[in-house]
Amino acid sequence: MNPQTLARLTGVLFLITYITSIPALFVFYAPVLKNPGYITSAGPDTAVLVGAFLEVILIIANVGSALALFPVLKRQNEALALGYVTARMVESGFIAVGILSLLTVVTLRQEAAGADPASLTLVGQALVAMHDWTFLLGPSFVVGIGNGLLLGYLMYRSGLVPRPLARLGLIGGALLCASGIAVLFGVLEQGGAVQSIASMPEFFWELLLGIYLTVWGFRRSAVASEPARMLTSELVPA
């Protein structure tokens, strides 16, 4: 497939991840995430189900963006390109576990009539805690490695996007990984101000990358020089 077609497809898929993930987390999941007694209340189940549906689309967009980029990135470094695809898959796996945990809360709320309310509340809080951990390990830590460090490095070395933009990815990935580790060991509060600030470079890196690829595609000079680089690497041993 034409590299510019792959670029624009990737850009659209990146933008879809924003359109789906932000409303799911901050709007549709809010009732179950912010109300400790949701499982015993008459909570708005439809909102949680819509959030789960949006995150299923998010998973599809995540995997699709990785597969769309792989044919281009592997020309730069196949091992790192495969690592990026793997990181996207692992991230999507964590997201899927988070979806299942919240859907289980909804199911228990609907079908566990007559159960002890205190026990139900405890189970519901445990399932929400599981979702919080999957969010930390997936969309936080693994994203820092995959979308930040690996993708940022590959884009920087290939020159497929402006290098200042790729540097933002490297910085964002490093900060996201560091803040995720800090939260894991209790140094920072999950969702606190410090972690939120540390996630901003990664947030803007992925958003700007999606916009850039959708509007302009890959830098044409980098795409044009790719066959020459491949021929040189084949003729001149490393």
Predicted local confidence at residue 222, as pLDDT: 84
Distance of alpha carbon 25 from alpha carbon 131, whole angstroms: 11
Average pLDDT taken over every residue of the chain:
92
Helix ranges, 40-141 (H): 45-73, 78-111, 117-135
pLDDT tens digit sequence for 9-54: 999 999 999 999 999 999 999 999 999 889 988 778 999 999 999 9
Predicted local confidence at residue 226, as pLDDT: 61
Would you kindly state where each structural domain of the chain is located, as residue ranges? 3-235
Over 70: is that where the pLDDT of 105 sits? yes
pLDDT tens digit sequence for 148-205: 999 999 999 999 999 999 999 999 999 999 999 999 999 999 989 999 999 999 999 9
C-beta separation of 15 from 57 below 8 A = no
Query: What pLDDT band is residue 225 in, cutting at 50, 70 and 90?
Result: low
What residue type is assigned to position 55 of the chain? E
C-beta separation of 213 from 161 below 8 A = yes
Distance of alpha carbon 19 from alpha carbon 23, whole angstroms: 7
Local structure of 190: helix, strand or coil: coil
Task: Give the chain's length.
Answer: 238
| Contacts of 92 by beta carbon, 8 Å cutoff, 6+ apart | 59, 62, 63, 138
Q: Virtual CA dihedral for 189, 192, 197, 202, nearest 10 degrees?
A: 70
Which of the pair, 138 or 230, is modelled with greater confidence? Answer: 138
Distance of alpha carbon 165 from alpha carbon 236, whole angstroms: 31
C-beta separation of 98 from 142 below 8 A = no
Distance of alpha carbon 51 from alpha carbon 192, whole angstroms: 22
